[in-house]
Structure 1
C-alpha cells in the first residue's frame, strides 16, 4: 500500500487561504454594491442626470422670476406716472390711439414726397 503524499498544508496555510477567500468575498460584495450605487445614481429616481436637469430648470425659473419682478416694477412706475399726471392719459390717447375730443376736426396729411424726384409731367 502506497500512500500518495501531496503537498502538506499546514494549519497556518489553511488559515491564510481562508483569510484570502474571505477578503475576496468582501471585495466582491463591495464591488457589487459600488456597481449598484453607480448605476442607480445615473438612472434611478434621484439620478445625477435628473438632479442636473432640475438645477438647470430651477436656475431658468429664477431668471424668469427676476425678469418678471423687473417688469412688475416698471408697470408700477407707469401706474404711478398716470396717477400723478392725468394729462398723460390724454397724450397717449391722442398719440398712440388716435382719439380726438368731441367736436375736434382732425387733418391728416399723407406722407411727404421726396423732393429729389420731380413730378411726372404729362405730354
Structure 2
C-alpha cells in the first residue's frame, strides 16, 4: 500500500517518461552530441587538482562542461545552476546524474570556467558544441 506523499519505486521513471513524451530538449541534446569528443581538449585546458591534499575526488570535466552549457542555455548563476541540477529531473538526466549523486557547487563551477578562460578554451569548446549540434539537425 502506497503512503500519500511518499514516492513509489517507479515514480521517477514515470516522471522521466512523461518528460520524454513532451519533448525534453535536454534528452535530445544528450542523444545528439557525443560529449566524449570534448574530453581531450578539457584535459589539456583544465589541470586536475591534487586530491592527496584533502577534499573529495574531482568531478568529471565533461560533466562540468555540460553544466556550463546548461548555464549558458538558461542564463543561470553558478548558485542557481547548482540548485536547479538538484531540483530538476531533466537537468539530472542530461548530466547523467542520479538523485543521490553529488553535484558540483558554485565554487567548483566558477573555478572550472576560470580555468577554461585562462586556457583560451571557452569559445573554442562552445563553438565546437554549436557546430556539432547544428550538424546533427
Same fold (TM over 0.5): no
**TM-score, length basis structure 1:** 0.23
Q: What TM-score, normalized by structure 2, do the two folds share? A: 0.21
Structure number, greater radius of gyration: 1
